[in-house]
Chains A and B, each alone.
Chain A
Amino acid sequence: MIPGNKDTRDGILFSLPFMIVFALFMIYPLVFGFYISFFQWNILGTPKFIALQNYLDLLKDERFWSSLWHTLQFVLMTTPVLLILGFIMALLVTGKSPLKGIMETCFFVPYIFSMTVVATLWAWIMQKDFGIINQILRILGKDGVSWLTSEKNAMWSISIATYWWTAGFNMVLFTAGIKQISKEIYESATVDGAGPLQQIFHITIPLLKPTTILCLILQVIASFNVFGQVYVMTGGGPAGSTRVLVQYIYETGFNYFRMGYSAAMSYVLFLIIMVISVVQYAILGRRND
């Protein structure tokens, strides 16, 4: 069919430009980073091979465990709420309301803003003395809340800003899922006398299971990688109570220049994310069939 079959040559030539960049800036650093993690590697001085010492140090590093715990807290605080919010938004924008177009745009628009803008804005809204939430609370005769400056509240405050920022993303995925459910199912349910709530619980939610699994897995990964919101809103404080793992990796590598240790930590995080994703997929995906 093709004159003088050149498929092999063409395939290689067409793949080559991407593969070169991919090899240089993805595969090579991935391997190099793993290599570094076996060294005591400071930015100055000669790297020293220390085998598994970095990984062993991690196990005894209180900050590592607390950062991991804070990350986990953030995952647990954000994932369920973001899924439910996204789902409710999707119901609103796929309904019969004449406002559904406006709602879709409004719910989605925060996601388009860069995270640092969102975090800066919420840090101002939640500011202790002059932020609008506390100003209103005071007008109502209540005390202002230490949104970002108390260990009890800080992670929740960061979570609230995150809800606002990314709920619209989940809405888009759920909306796409809902639109794929055939209208006839709802019509016959209506004929059988099922009310709107019954339809949601007995038709929409069960049929959205694949979308929900996708959302869940993506959300858990995204929440595990949290960094910017924390960096801008609390800087990890107060007293390190919101320091998350990516931040600790960043600080270790680029404030204290302990590159080997930082690399080892990032591989542990990678492993954790992989294991959790695979487990989620195995458990939820299987039951789905």
Chain B
Amino acid sequence: MKKHSKNVIFRILEIFIIAIWIFPLVWMVITSLKYENEVVTRVFTFLPQNPTLHNYQEAFGSTYILQWLINSLVISVVTMVFTFLLDAPIAYAFAKIRFPGRNILFWVVMAGMMVPFQVLIVPLYLQFTSYGIINTLLSAILPRLALPIGIFILRQFYEGIPTALEEAAFIDGAGRLRTFVKIILPLGKAAATTVIILAFINAWNDFLWPLIAISDSVNYTITVGIANFQGTHGTEYAMIMAGAVIASLPELVFFLIFRRKIIDGIAMTGLKG
């Protein structure tokens, strides 16, 4: 009996903690459904008195938010695909092919993980200006393609694939490329999913670099667009929150689909954004 009531107290406490933690998100949605004059007043109301989607219309109508979403989506998908196309072959080489300089090369690549991005912003900016691609989506994509952490994950996985499987393929006359495509890639699907999910999230949440690389507001990513909302829309808090909701929806959907994969991927690598 005593144990039972103790459990009840614990559950109530836990529900309370969950409610507090999730509240900011709830408040974001509630604010976005209010009229501006209900938000900017000292007469506090919790729930919207006249719920409205006006702010969403306003956000879509008077800003480039839809374009920003598309830009972010394009950048993230392209980054995701190319990251994998670049990472997988070299990870395979590191795991299974004995070639001179392999270990040195591996450590050079891993050292790349240590470099904080802000060291690269000035040189990259000058580099891309001279190529004439600054202020394009391409400039936001290129520096994010080489993802050393992806190599690390894939290599670890490929190392666990028995060499006997490869050898059987070689005996059947398959070359390296065929073996890689037909045997290694299908077997490494789990690790591949982790890598492309991490690449997608990284690209989607990127802020400092697109802020610098892209100056035309049509070309903004969603993160940069939202950051500049406050500057351009000052005190229209309801509208700003509607923008924040719109900006988070794709990520939320992505999270709900890949929840387990994302959490496990982070647990595996300790990747910090």
Contacts and interface: CB of A to CB of B under 8 A. Distances in A.
Interface in B220-273: 222-224, 226-227, 229-230, 237, 240-241, 244, 247-248, 251-252, 254-255, 259, 262-263, 266-268, 270, 272-273
Interface in A195-235: 214-215, 218-219, 221-222, 224-225, 227-228, 231-232
B247 A15 contact: no
A138 B42 contact: yes
Contacts of A6: 176
Contact of A26 (B21, B92, B121, B146): B146
Contacts of A222: 272-273
A50 interface: no
Interface residues on A, range: 35 or more
B267 A115 contact: no
Nearest to B98: A7
B60 interface: no
A129 interface: yes
Contacts of B15: 99
B53 interface: no
Contact of A114 (B109, B170, B223): B223
A169 B226 contact: no
A273 B142 contact: no
A263 B244 contact: no
Interface string A239-254: 0000000100110011
B89 A17 contact: yes
A267 B124 CA distance: 14
Contacts of B244: 117, 120-121
Contacts of B94: 15
B97 A11 contact: yes
**B25, B114, B118 — most chain A CB neighbours (10 Å):** B118
Given A1-B167, A10-B176, A18-B146, A253 B14 contact: no
A246 B18 contact: no
Nearest to A47: B126
B247 to A, nearest CB: 5
A114 B251 contact: yes
A250 B251 contact: no
B186 interface: no
**A19, A25, A105, A273 — most chain B CB neighbours (10 Å):** A25
Nearest to B148: A22
B218 interface: no
Interface string A18-45: 1101101110111011001000000000
Given A117-B226, A172-B266, A221-B272, 11 more contacts: A1-B170, A14-B92, A17-B90, A19-B90, A115-B273, A122-B24, A130-B39, A136-B44, A173-B267, A221-B116, A270-B119
Interface of B: 10-11, 14-15, 17-18, 21-22, 24-25, 27-28, 31, 39-42, 44, 85-87, 89-90, 92-94, 97-100, 102, 105, 109, 112, 114-127, 142-143, 145-146, 151, 167, 170, 176, 180, 201, 204-205, 207-208, 211-212, 222-224, 226-227, 229-230, 237, 240-241, 244, 247-248, 251-252, 254-255, 259, 262-263, 266-268, 270, 272-273
Interface of A: 1-3, 6-8, 10-15, 17-19, 21-22, 24-26, 28-30, 32-33, 36, 92, 97-99, 102-117, 119-125, 127, 129-130, 132, 135-136, 138-139, 164, 166, 169, 172-173, 175-176, 214-215, 218-219, 221-222, 224-225, 227-228, 231-232, 246, 249-250, 253-254, 259, 262-263, 266-267, 269-270, 273-274, 277
